Structure 1
């Protein structure tokens, strides 16, 4: 489970999310899982991360429900780390980070990977935040409010 120093008592969803998945290696593991990497050795090879760090991050990601561990799909003795529905819901976060990086961290002539829609072969539309009515919102069009969980 997460360490006692976690922000589990924090009312801020951003703080809790960062506690669960917010470090570099966790996000890179999740990114690789979206590219259908499933085995420990494949993550290690792709990321070049130390085995002890990878093991710790995968353990935490399983504990918070991002991955589940299954027997290897090829019948071998290996285990696979498979994204859960909760894990798949992180996809828009990763895409948003990718798009921000494309806009702000690469020069116009710099080579970079591009995420393409499988059906059209085209790059994805830029992500944005929308109101319940469909209007595009910026950071100063929103505010935080405290919401108490329903008792039902």
Structure 2
């Protein structure tokens, strides 16, 4: 995969799926996507990336996103973005939306659902600041991800204990 192909792929994934890849992931992405070249009969990554830009490529874009996505999910997976959200992004959102007192959060590629629940827990911790606000979390999953697994009372105890360890 050439650098310009990877750059285009990164842009498409971010715009369409909310998946943000760092520049150092090119080799990993190439390994993960190589089977798709055969599946869709592309002779090269150049052909794959070109096909992704064409109208009607939704099925292909979906398969690429599913192949790249991390399908592992647990509460507060990777503390850094959650800390950034609560310490930087939430105050900025509140300042920008002060007039409407509405915040809508898109949780992209939410796997089995612990990520949006983690965001909800962070928002609950900030509930005094958010009194009188309407806050909505929208969970985005791909078709092959397990959308219905996380329901109230069904979360595995190991996942809950991991959440407790993260928040202590």
TM-score (norm 1): 0.31
More relative contact order, 1 or 2 (CA 8 Å, 6+ apart): 2
Q: Name whichever structure is richer in helix by fraction.
A: 2
TM-score (norm 2): 0.29
